[in-house]
Amino acid sequence: EVQLVESGGGLVQPGGSLRLSCAASGFTFSGYWMSWVRQAPGKGLEWLANIKQDGGEKNYVDSVRGRFTISRDNARNSLYLQMNSLRGEDTAVYFCARDWQLDVWGQGTTVTVSS
């Protein structure tokens, strides 16, 4: 079964850092671009970043560029999102998704930024 499972969410203070992980299974992880997408409470979807199969190309939305870093470990079938300088507006459910079509999604992990 093709599956993505996010982890690493939690409560963090403004200005703090958090690292999210996404474990992939059921498909050849190294063969796909991967993305992170978030959804603030009661709001719509916001694409954050993606990374090429070999990690050699990355794209970011302006709102997180310079604060968030996407990375991957193909040997571990894992995708990561390092989030620094967190703000209240970063509070959201964070999803990882596969490929340019975002054809497979994880269940999401919740990040709350609050003092």
Partner 1 sequence: QSVLTQPPSTSGAPGQRVTVSCSGSSSDIGSNTVNWYQQLPGTAPKLLIYSNNQRPSGVPDRFSGSKSATSASLAISGLQSEDEADYYCAAWDDRLNVVFGGGTKLTVL
Q: Is 103 in the site for partner 1 (CB under 8 A)?
A: yes
Select from 44, 54, 56, 75 the one that contacts partner 1 (CB under 8 A).
44
Select from 45, 66, 85, 87 the one that contacts partner 1 (CB under 8 A).
45
Select from 9, 102, 110, 112 the one that contacts partner 1 (CB under 8 A).
102
CB of residue 108 vs partner 1: minimum separation in angstroms? Answer: 6
Select from 51, 72, 106, 111 the one that contacts partner 1 (CB under 8 A).
106
Annotate the chain with DSSP letters as a single string: --EEEEE--EEE-TT--EEEEEEEESS-GGGS-EEEEEE-TT--EEEEEEE-TTS--EEE-TTTBTTEEEEEEGGGTEEEEEE-S--GGG-EEEEEEETTTT-SB---EEEEE--
Nearer to partner 1, 50 or 78 (CB): 50
